[in-house]
Amino acid sequence: MTYTKYSASGNDFVIFHTFIEKDYSEDAKKLCNRTEGIGADGLVALVPSNDADFKWLFYNSDGSDAAMCGNATRAVAHYAYSNGLALNKMKFLTGAGLIESEVEGNIVQTQMTKPIIIKEPFEQDGFTWYLIDTGVPHLVTIVDDLQKYDHDLCSKMRYEHNANVNFAKIEDKIIKVRTYERGVEGETLACGTGMVACFLRANDLNLVDNKTFVYPKSGEELTISKINDSIYFKGAVKKSFTTNID
């Protein structure tokens, strides 16, 4: 099999395409292993679809599946275009629904799924939290110092609310984010759906404009825009390498 590794703002994925739609969770555990495999936050298999350019099967590094991953949509779109599976403007099916992406060089923009508020702001463990589904559920708290990010608290909150956990800081209408992700069970360098969740919370509080820059832990710059009721997520992706594995 031929696999390609991509990085999208520090969030890395192993991607391949196949005609065979099946459970690739065990492959995800092996290939995403950072000591004995390729090493990645997730595995994505692209399979044929009658309703879109293709369909994706997405797995976290622990083999669990996820409906949506913002950074992966950008990496997958670039992969699909580069491998002739779709034109530069494409539609593909995820567990969260139909995704539209556009590729321009190494810059990819994705129209995100419609967000759903799961729980209005609530207090817990000294922070004010907001729970929203941006393809997958995310807890968001806005802080004045990202050093307040607490791994043990994130792990606790992740299991109590079955959600990813985000700490966001607003600085001159720019958002900086640290995210603990389910499936990885730790902090990642970037999380697209998490950054979108933080943007929506900050935008609701009038702390940022309808178009703003967002910086994850990797330090890479991304743009999130709100146009009418649609959310667009834009940034660079990088193809790391392609390899064949027996």
Task: Tally the residues of the chain.
Answer: 246
Query: Do residues 29 and 38 touch, judged by C-beta distance below 8 A?
Result: no
**In angstroms, rounded to a whole number, what is the distance separating the alpha carbons of residues 165 and 182?**
9
Give the residue numbers annotated as catalytic, written as ranges: 69, 191
**In angstroms, rounded to a whole number, what is the distance separating the alpha carbons of residues 121 and 201?**
10
Q: DSSP for 115-127? A: PEEEEEEEEETTE
SS3 category, 169: strand
Handedness of CA 196, 105, 3, 178 (dihedral sign): negative
CA distances from 24 to 15, 165, 241 (A): 12, 26, 21
Among candidate residues 28, 24, 34, the one with its CA nearest the CA of residue 14: 28
- Cα-Cα end-to-end distance for the chain: 6
Count of beta carbons in the 10 Å neighbourhood of residue 103 = 21
Query: Do residues 58 and 72 touch, judged by C-beta distance below 8 A?
Result: yes
Among candidate residues 241, 210, 201, 223, the one with its CA nearest the CA of residue 70: 223
